[in-house]
């Protein structure tokens, strides 16, 4: 406000307060004082003017009530009716900020717990699939071992069959005819030679049968052992297949649990995003000044949920109320003989201390910024160890199990699936059953 405005305002105020007729003094009213100060300040406060009207109305008709008492009563009503409204509005705004931040904090704790649980389920599924891959490899190894064992058994049993029958000729190389001349006495030696050949043939036959019997027994034992090994290999293969089947069911359940956890976490993040938005919007409201504030009745302003959050509006209201109250007090002290002036206005203006008398909103913005992030979709969400398995349908070979990064794009908008997996058929029903 310019010095010229102060001077003109002072003259106007002095003119109102000095109005009287010669020989009689007509006491100026509280309304006149408020109007004069309002003109000086270039602002009319409807609430305080109505308080002044009430003070004038309560004056006893015909009583010579002192002018200063009128103003002091108006000051008391400002202190008991107007100022508490501003402080209460400040308290409500602070309470709203605190409550909205608490809802964000609660949502943050919920989503953190959900993320931790989801990571655990993602890791459990990943480990299960690694075990399923190992079980598949076990099947493949057992199958190879079974094929080799059956092939070995077939060969061993074939060798046994080939040696099942014994046949041999022992006459080759031996002479079984005898011709001798008894007269010459040569028959005895020849008979002895014949007996020796027979004995030798019998020994060779016994040795051959004994050798073939031992060989057959060894081949039979080998066939039986290889057959047992083939049976054990086949049993190992079946056991591996059963283990894989059990693991497949387990991994399927863990996979469904993982997907459900991912989607539940995503929906909780979307809920948290709503809470964050509510806090940010209300925080922005507390910082914004109402464009048409000066045209509002302050009582309506402070009672309004839409405009009552505005800290600039409250500061403006408190400043004008404090200055007006201060100047009414000065006017009461000076009386009708002396008008308030620019110096009084400056002193009253300098005495305004909104933060001390009303308070300062604690938005806890740093705490909010630390918790916020549910509305951000810039970075994909990493679950568990950050890896997943890509496995073709059916029962593929172990080599077909491949690791991929598990980074899911996130959509924070409520009403849309937070993650792509959440659109799977039947999954949404399982989540909200």
pLDDT > 70 in the chain, percent: 75
Rounded Cα–Cα distance for residues 96 and 372 (Å): 18
- Asked whether 113 and 288 are in contact (CB, 8 A), the reply is no
Residue 294: in which H helix or E strand, if any?
Answer: none
Q: What is the pLDDT of residue 389?
A: 95
Of 381 and 295, the structure prediction assigns the larger pLDDT to 381
CA-based radius of gyration for the chain: 54
For residue 159, give every residue at least 6 positions away whose Cβ sits within 8 Å of its Cβ, in sequence order, or none.
Answer: 219, 222, 223
In this predicted structure, the answer to whether residue 308 has a pLDDT above a threshold of 50 is: yes
Query: Considering only CA atoms, which of 34, 1, 46, 44 is closest in space to residue 327?
Result: 34
In this predicted structure, the answer to whether residue 70 has a pLDDT above a threshold of 70 is: yes
Q: What is the pLDDT of residue 73?
A: 83
279 part of a folded domain: no
Q: What is the pLDDT of residue 189?
A: 79
397 part of a folded domain: no
Beta bridge partners of 402: 390
Query: Domain limits at 348?
Result: 3-106+292-366
Q: How confident is the model at residue 305 (pLDDT cuts 50, 70, 90)?
A: very low
243 part of a folded domain: no
Residue 329: in which H helix or E strand, if any?
Answer: helix 311-334
Of 325 and 126, the structure prediction assigns the larger pLDDT to 126
For residue 37, give every residue at least 6 positions away whose Cβ sits within 8 Å of its Cβ, in sequence order, or none.
Answer: 13, 324, 327, 328, 331, 340
In this predicted structure, the answer to whether residue 78 has a pLDDT above a threshold of 60 is: yes
CA torsion, points 220, 226, 229, 230, in degrees to nearest 10? -120
The mean pLDDT of 155-160, rounded to a whole number, is 90
203 part of a folded domain: no
Q: Is 387 helix (H, G, I), strand (E, B) or coil?
A: strand
The mean pLDDT of 127-155, rounded to a whole number, is 96
Q: What is the pLDDT of residue 26?
A: 33
Buried b (16+ CB within 10 A) or exposed e, 309-340: bbbebbbbbbebbbbbbbbbbbbbebebeebb
Query: Considering only CA atoms, which of 150, 146, 155, 94 is closest in space to residue 314?
Result: 94
Q: What is the mean pLDDT of the chain?
A: 80
pLDDT > 90 in the chain, percent: 47
Q: Is 390 helix (H, G, I), strand (E, B) or coil?
A: strand
Counting the structural domains of the chain, the total is 1
Q: What is the pLDDT of residue 166?
A: 75
Lowest mean pLDDT among 118-127, 183-192, 219-228, 272-281: 183-192
The mean pLDDT of 106-134, rounded to a whole number, is 97
198 part of a folded domain: no
In this predicted structure, the answer to whether residue 433 has a pLDDT above a threshold of 60 is: no
Lowest mean pLDDT among 32-41, 155-164, 223-232, 249-258: 32-41
């Amino acid at each position: 406000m310019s010095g010229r405005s102060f001077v003109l305002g002072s003259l106007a105020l002095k003119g109102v307060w000095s109005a009287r007729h010669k020989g009689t003094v007509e006491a100026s009213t509280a309304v006149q004082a408020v109007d004069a100060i309002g003109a000086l300040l270039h602002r009319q406060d409807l609430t305080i003017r109505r308080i002044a009207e009430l003070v004038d109305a309560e004056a006893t008709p015909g009583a010579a009530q002192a002018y200063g008492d009128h103003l002091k009563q108006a000051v008391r009503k400002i202190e008991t009716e107007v100022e508490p409204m501003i402080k209460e509005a400040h308290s409500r705004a602070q309470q709203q900020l605190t409550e909205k931040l608490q809802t964000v904090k609660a949502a943050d704790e919920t989503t953190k717990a959900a993320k931790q649980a989801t990571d655990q389920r993602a890791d459990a599924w990943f480990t299960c699939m690694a075990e399923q891959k190992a079980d598949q490899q076990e099947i493949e190894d057992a199958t190879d071992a079974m094929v080799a064992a059956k092939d070995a058994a077939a060969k061993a049993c074939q060798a046994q069959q080939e040696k099942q029958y014994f046949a041999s000729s022992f006459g080759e190389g031996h002479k079984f005819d005898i011709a001798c001349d008894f007269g010459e006495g040569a028959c005895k030696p020849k008979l002895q030679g014949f007996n020796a050949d027979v004995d030798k043939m019998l020994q060779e036959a016994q040795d051959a049968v004994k050798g073939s019997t031992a060989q057959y027994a060894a081949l039979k034992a080998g066939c039986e052992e290889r057959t047992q090994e083939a049976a054990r290999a086949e049993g190992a293969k079946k056991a591996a297949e059963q283990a894989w089947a059990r693991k497949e069911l387990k991994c399927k359940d863990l996979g469904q649990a993982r997907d459900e956890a991912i989607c539940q976490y995503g929906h909780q993040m979307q809920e948290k995003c709503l809470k964050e938005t509510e806090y940010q919007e209300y925080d922005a409201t507390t910082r914004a000044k109402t464009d048409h504030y000066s045209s509002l009745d302050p009582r309506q302003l402070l009672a309004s949920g839409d405009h009552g959050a505005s800290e600039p509006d409250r500061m403006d209201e408190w400043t004008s109320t404090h200055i007006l109250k201060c100047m009414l007090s000065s006017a009461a002290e000076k009386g009708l003989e002396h008008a308030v002036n620019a110096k009084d206005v400056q002193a009253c203006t300098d005495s305004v201390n909104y933060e001390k008398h009303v308070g300062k909103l604690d938005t806890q913005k740093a705490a909010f910024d630390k918790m916020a992030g549910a509305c951000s979709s810039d970075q994909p969400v990493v679950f568990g160890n950050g890896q997943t398995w890509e496995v073709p349908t059916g029962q593929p070979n172990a080599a077909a199990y491949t690791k991929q990064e598990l980074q899911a794009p996130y959509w924070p908008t409520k009403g849309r699936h937070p993650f792509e997996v959440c659109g799977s058929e039947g999954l949404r029903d399982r989540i909200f059953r």
